Amino acid sequence: MSHQLNNALEDVGKSMSQLRIALKGVPVRREGFKGLHDQFARSVATLTTHMSYARVLLDEEAAERRKRRRRR
């Protein structure tokens, strides 16, 4: 499961890089675009941060180690 999460995080990173390149020609102040872009970028950053923290919980080997520690 954590492998799928790693792939998803990598894909989001690539997509955000492509978005940054695509935005070079867009006027910043056009109809509140800058504000919408900034809000979107913050939301994606929050999502990727939460997903990164969840990676530890989804790692099956680490989960087994935690279970063994609790049993002792």
Q: What is the pLDDT of residues 8-57, one digit of tens each?
A: 889 999 999 998 888 877 776 677 777 888 899 999 999 999 988 887 77
Tokens coding 49: 């941060």
Is residue 6's pLDDT more than 90?
no
pLDDT of 14 reads: 94
pLDDT of 1 reads: 58
Global pTM reads 0.65
pLDDT of 3 reads: 77
Tokens coding 48: 């990727």
Q: From 13, 4, 17, select the one nearest 49 (Cα to Cα).
A: 13
Distance from C-alpha of 5 to C-alpha of 12, rounded to nearest angstrom: 11
